[in-house]
Structure 1
Amino acid sequence: MAAGSDVLLILVAVLFPPAAVAIMSGCSCDLLINLLLTLLGFIPGHIHAFWLIYKKMKAEERYGPGRYRYVGNGTYESHPGMVAQPAPAYGATSY
């Protein structure tokens, strides 16, 4: 389930992909890559921005909201000093 911030990022990415990437990664190599992809064609910029948003959503699922940091190249890691949350268990589980 997408959080409100993820929905806002998706809307920004639809209008102008480099702005969404700048919100997520700041002034980084990913922003430069997205700017170049957007200049080459609007669709490649969209694909790159949506891929980064997807990776951010996966990090939120894995580590929990606010418990991760962006390393670069679409990679996230657990924030130092915070323990990753266990994945939710569905169905029958062993004790």
Structure 2
Amino acid sequence: MKFIRILLAILVPPIGVFMTAGVSSALFINIGLTLLGWVPGVIHALWFLQKADERQDAAY
């Protein structure tokens, strides 16, 4: 599942963020960044997925 989220974060950044966080402020930020340009949206999505994985690992 992690591979699919990363792949979607690269191809369509808001979907990768949505699969991780659902409807949240991070999703709306990512949509705005993606509208400004694909690259900022991808950077934010990959950063967000990495931070979400770090939080999940820290919980264990």
Which residue of the other structure, out of 15, 32, 38, is the alignment partner of 1:36?
A: 32
Greater RCO, CA 8 A, separation 6+: 2
Which residue of the other structure, out of 59, 62, 81, is the alignment partner of 2:58?
A: 62
Partner SS for 1:27: coil
1:19-77: per-residue Cα shift (whole Å, max 9, x none)? 0111111111111110010010100000110011101111232113xxxxxxxxxxxxx
Q: Report the structure, 1 or 2, having the larger helix content.
A: 2
Indicate conservation of the 8 Å contact 1:6/1:57, yes or no.
no
* Aligned-residue RMSD, C-alpha: 1.0
Larger radius of gyration: 1
User: 2:35 aligned with 1:45, yes or no?
Assistant: no
TM-score by length of 2: 0.89
Letter in 2 for 1:42: W
TM-score by length of 1: 0.59
Aligned to 1:21: 17
Which residue of the other structure, out of 2, 5, 15, is the alignment partner of 1:6?
A: 2
How many equivalent pairs are there? 60
After the TM superposition, which parts of structure 1 deviate over 2 Å for at least 4 consecutive aligned residues? none
Identity of aligned residues (%): 40
Determine the C-alpha separation between the residues in 1 that align with 2:11 and 2:34. 11
